[in-house]
Structure 1
Amino acid sequence: MKKILLIILIGLLTISCQNQSDRVENDLYGCLMDSLTDSEKEKTGTILSDFEQHLIDKGILESSKPKSYWNLYNEMATTEVYDFSNDFNLSEKLSFLDRQNPSENQGFLDCQNRIFQSEKYLKSKLYKFTEELQSLKNHKITPVIIAKTTIKYLTVEDFELDYNRFGALMFIESLN
């Protein structure tokens, strides 16, 4: 009996891990990473890690764990309070990624468009989340509404994905 339970548990964990790695968010993040040179990837990773640590030091994030990211959105949604003023200036530090020639972004845009037109995307939580935000575009979309919509669709486990963590960091930066 213990062997059967162990086999079932391992099977469920394997399926769970496969599902997490086969997510559309990973494909989209891959588009971004594939569009960067090795040195840009390294520099971007360092800057994002430094920003995350800065947010932890400022008390905006509790830690680098997925639960901390989800808690940030949950706190905003429930208290309707947000103050993410910080002096890090992520946008400026990532400005080296701005391409002067729009054609330099074509591969990235083509990659994203293929994903956005795929059945995998149309069946994803990300699609439902995006559709709900799009349906609200005729209203004033506030950070609180974004936070409420985020916790409606994303779980703690979703913040294990680099794409969602990156999105959260960019969201925080946009409120600065």
Structure 2
Amino acid sequence: MTLVIAFIGWEGAVMAGDMREITFQGEDSRIEELERELYSGSIISDDDLRERAGEIGVTIRVRDDKAKVSQRDGLLIGEVAETDGPVVRRKRLYATKGGYAIAEIIDSQLRVIQRGSASNFVILGNSVAKQVANQCIQGVWEEGGSIPDAMRVVMLTMQAASSMTASVSRTFILVHTDLAASLSNAIEQDSRG
């Protein structure tokens, strides 16, 4: 799980997602140990990650080319995945002008777990990425800011998170919309596969 962040406003929405995907091979308990350290913030750089993985005998593969955010008919969609043994849980954020929804996907079953309206930042990611994002937002965002202001905050947040944890790539995709798309239609369409 890495970082997807969005701002939902009355005039539009903006979303960014990093592009990192890390795969692990090795003994399950060692992989869990490495993931725990990575997602708690104790592993900051890519070099630290490679070094720690080598120390405990875990093989890692790091790719920075996975698109986690996209735009479909005025709707912004971001997704993060979390693996718990054989179970893969995905959280998907749908954002549009004026509203958002978060869905959880387990075994191809999509279930909406949260809905909200404008003037909100929404963050999906591991605990350290969320903590960095919250600090950036609280430190920089001014109530009543515009969509361009939100874009700057989102970009700053992505840059800050990538410098604080190896779980977030330095590259990211940024998308925005000023359209009000139907969240319900998109969720219904995705539920059918």
Normalising by structure 1, we get a TM-score of: 0.28
Relative to its length, the structure with more strand (as a share) is 2
Relative to its length, the structure with more helix (as a share) is 1
Normalising by structure 2, we get a TM-score of: 0.26
